[in-house]
Chain A
Amino acid sequence: MVDPIKVYPSKPAKVYFYGTCLVDMFYPDAGIAGVELLEREGIEVLFPQDQTCCGQPAYTSGYHDQARSVAKAQLDLFPGDWPIVVPSGSCGGMIRKHYPDLFKDTPDEVKAAEVAGRVWELTDFLLNVCHIKLEDLGEPTTVAMHTSCSARREMGVAEVGPKLLGQLKNVNLVEQIRPEECCGFGGTFAVRHPEISGAMVSEKVDTLVDTGAKEFVTTDCGCLMNIAGYAEKNQKPVSGQHILSFLWARTQGKGGQ
């Protein structure tokens, strides 16, 4: 469940950047865009090179021993007390919400809870901690947005993306029907139950196409590879990118570094 009350920290001098494995291998541009946006806000970005994966794939598959061993390898990466920002609601939710359960009654219980408490989804951090002001330098365009289920329900940031996009004066944000419905990714769900996942993503793509937008943005790379991958394979007229890539591209070149 979402924390009942979120207490945002004041804007820090530094943050730890937890890139996530999908961004690392498939969407590093989204990660770099996030870093650029943070740096433009005057924040120093620390990137622990020993980071790998939050452990979620094993966790949701039921292999908790393996999830714990991978998660344990992440716990020592953030020795300072700076916030930890994550360009994903899903991986953020894994650490923030599930690490405390995963390490309950283990010697790492306290550390896991401490790390979990410092985790922020990156767009939420930009809007509500950095109080970012975006100046749109792009041509007029229309986009739709898909907020991941974990960003919406575990990290409670459903309102953040639309607010950030709302700051961009040349961007017309349109809403698809059933915006809160899952795109069908669900990690290993997509390969364990391919037909169900396929039925879900096909409807998601149809609703996005119906908005008339040629492009959608999303908070999570899992949803991105699912939705955009389906649209590409089935030649649907919509493409996607991570919201951080979009925000950076729209505002590039402005602001003091």
Chain B
Amino acid sequence: MSETAEHTGHHIDVKQFHPRAQAAIHNPKIRKNFRSAMDGLMSKRKTAFEGWDLETLRDLGANVRLRALANLPDLLEQLEKKLTENGIKVHWAVDGDEACRIVRDICKARDAKTVIKGKSMVSEEMELNHYLEEQGIEALESDLGEYIVQLADETPSHIIMPAIHKNTGEISQLLHDKTGTDLSNDVEYLTASARLQLREKFMNADVGVSGVNFAVAETGTLCLVENEGNGRMTTTVPKCHIAVTGIEKVVPSMEDVSALLALLTRSATGQHITTYFNMISGPRKAEELDGPEEVHLVLVDNGRSSIYQDDELLDTLRCIRCGACMNHCPVYTRVGGHAYGTTYPGPIGKILMPHLIGLDEGRHLPSASSLCGACGEVCPVKIPIPDLLVRLRQESVDGDKLHPAKVRGHGAKRSSMEAMIWKGWAWMHASPGIYRFGTGAASKFRVLQPSKAGAWTDYRTAPKLAAKTLHQRMKERGQ
């Protein structure tokens, strides 16, 4: 990520995708938790869009994001100017480590000892919690899912529902072990118990750290979408609020937010609107009673600028982090979020993470898809995820001389053996006579066909060669 990795955090070897995926597949609890959760989310999304012209709305969402990205440098400058006018201090971070240092410096300047956090995937990218802990600053997650994950010393398994891999019983046990809450299957009770624990923390926290869903350039407003009220508490109760976000989150105007918000909440959780929608436009004014004295925004690049350089890969940055792609992904549903070993799991993770960690480290991510297209079909901003997966597959094997690979760590998956097999395959299939001879001979000697065919026949019987090929039968018919 940077020349000097200052902190460690969770060390997960992304390359070990296969063993993790295999373990998840053979874990009935994981399978059941994800299957039932994803089924529920898919059905809620479907219901939420009933009566809407979804394709038109998705076109609108895609265009809003495309227009914003087309003017990204200008919009970021405008955003900085407006935020500064509003009294919000803007910081720029080239990567996660720099962003962590910026947050630390703000905390140190205020002699802050405790930080309360609202949900922020960019802070997960930064591994901010571990960094602050190493710096002697307590960082506590206040989003219920994040709180659970933090208590369990895990990472989020979903970008919207971080603890979706756990069922009520597991959560109850965890709260019992870590906070002394009575064991219960009553979700209301468990939530109330967590709320009680967190309330005190809100009151005493020196700094609140949150994410941002949309940063509006025209007005200098930071929009935050949430359901639990913890986002509002995080951004208003402590005397200092630090928002962290990726540089792609900027949109030109408030008008753009309405379309994206309509798409975001319905795509994510099937809600028409979230319980809270916060618009933060500056610190407490002299005549106001509430709100933080200081507000900061840390704009994090962390690989985004390099994505921005490529016209096709650029589409990756349209993402509004709704998670619909993972909810509809048959692979994610089977292996769960932790198998990926990345901050962002599922389809969006497969196209985003290679830019953040390098295609060498993330070499297995683009191939872990059947290219079924469900992700692209539901994406509210029409990111052509399957096409980008194919692009990254090509980059990971340096497979296209006409379009030389660009992504950091490209070519790491290329093996001379596999390349040779594809060359042989291409030679045969680009030579019709040889193809007809080969397939004809295979049919003729089909009794010699082995009954085992590698991993295919671990689960299935081998397909049976026909007695005559279609070519031969058509020729016999005179065609």
User: What residues on B are CB-neighbors of A201 within 8 Å?
Assistant: 459-460
The segment from B109-117, B171-179, B418-426 that touches chain A is B418-426
Given contacts A25-B443, A153-B373, A189-B367, contact A62 B401 (CB under 8 A): no
Q: Tell me the chain A residues, 1-58 only, with Cβ under 8 Å from chain B.
A: 1, 17, 19, 21-29, 31-32, 35, 45-47, 49-53, 55, 57-58
Contacts of A234 in B (CB 8 A): 459
The interface residues of chain A lying within 8 Å CB-to-CB of B21 are 193, 195-196
- Smallest beta-carbon distance A244→chain B, Å: 12
Number of residues on chain A facing chain B (CB within 8 A) = 77
Interface check B22, CB cutoff 8 A: yes
**Does A59 make an interface contact (CB < 8 A)?**
yes
Chain A, Cβ-Cβ closest to B22: A195
Inter-chain contacts of B443 with A (CB < 8 A): 25
- Kindly specify which of A65-73, A136-144, A208-216 makes contact with the partner chain: A65-73
Interface residues of B in 464-479 (CB under 8 A from A): 464-466, 468-471, 473-475, 477, 479
B470 touches A24 (CB 8 A): yes
Q: Once the chains bind, are B403 and A184 in contact (CB under 8 Å)?
A: no
Give B434-479 interface residues, CB cut-off 8 Å to A: 435-436, 439, 442-443, 454-466, 468-471, 473-475, 477, 479
Nearest CB in chain A to that of B432: its residue: A50
Residues of B within 8 A of A117 (CB): none
What is the minimal beta-carbon distance from A2 to any residue of chain B, in angstroms?
9
B374 at the interface (CB under 8 A from A): yes
- Interface hits, B92-120 → A, CB 8 Å: none
What chain A residues lie within 8 Å of B425 (beta carbons)? 57-58, 66, 70
Q: Which of B381-408 contact A (CB under 8 A)?
A: 382, 384, 387, 390, 393-397, 399-403
Contacts of A196 in B (CB 8 A): 21, 25, 331, 334-335, 368
Q: Which of B411-434 contact A (CB under 8 A)?
A: 413, 419, 422-423, 425-426, 428-432
Beta-carbon contact of B459 and A182 below 8 Å: no
Check B8 for interface membership: any CB of A closer than 8 A: no
> CB distance B373 to A154 under 8 Å?
yes
CA distance A10 to B382 in the complex (A): 32
Q: Please measure, in the bound complex, the distance between the C-alpha atom of A213 and the C-alpha atom of B393, giving whole angstroms.
A: 38
> B453: shortest Cβ distance to chain A, in Å?
8
User: For chain B, what secondary structure do more than half of its interface residues adopt (helix, strand, loop), or is it mixed?
Assistant: helix
User: For the complex, what is the distance from the CA of A197 to the CA of B475, rounded to whole Å?
Assistant: 37
Q: Are B460 and A225 in contact (CB under 8 A)?
A: yes
Residues of A close to B373: CB separation below 8 A: 149-150, 152-154
Is B370 at the interface (CB under 8 A from chain A)?
yes
* CB interface residues, B 254-286, toward A, < 8 Å: none
- B430 and A47 contacting across the interface, CB-CB below 8 Å: no
Distance, CA A180 to CA B330, complexed state (A) = 10
Measured in the bound complex, the distance between the Cα atoms of B394 and A62 in whole Å is 4
Q: How far is the CA of A178 from the CA of B461 in the complex (A)?
A: 24
- Out of B330, B368, B371, B462, which one reaches A229, CB within 8 Å? B462
B396, A62: Cβ atoms closer than 8 Å: yes
B376 touches A (CB below 8 Å): yes
A159 on the B face (CB < 8 A): no
Docked Cα-Cα span, A25 to B472, in Å, equals 10
What are the interface flags for B357-387 relative to A under an 8 Å C-beta threshold, 1 for contact and 0 otherwise? Answer: 0000000001111111110110000101001
Instruction: Given A62-B399, A200-B370, A233-B459, answer yes or no on A52-B429 (Cβ-Cβ < 8 Å).
Output: yes
Q: Which of B25, B390, B395, B399 contacts A65 (CB 8 A)?
A: B399
Q: Which residues of B contact A (CB under 8 A)?
A: 18, 21-22, 25, 31, 39, 330-331, 334-335, 366-374, 376-377, 382, 384, 387, 390, 393-397, 399-403, 413, 419, 422-423, 425-426, 428-432, 435-436, 439, 442-443, 454-466, 468-471, 473-475, 477, 479
Q: Which 8 A-B pairs have the closest CB atoms?
A: A186-B370, A229-B460, A62-B393, A182-B372, A194-B455, A66-B426, A50-B432, A64-B400
Binding site for B on A (CB under 8 A): 1, 17, 19, 21-29, 31-32, 35, 45-47, 49-53, 55, 57-70, 72-73, 101, 105-106, 149-150, 152-154, 178, 180-182, 184-187, 189-202, 225-226, 229-230, 232-234
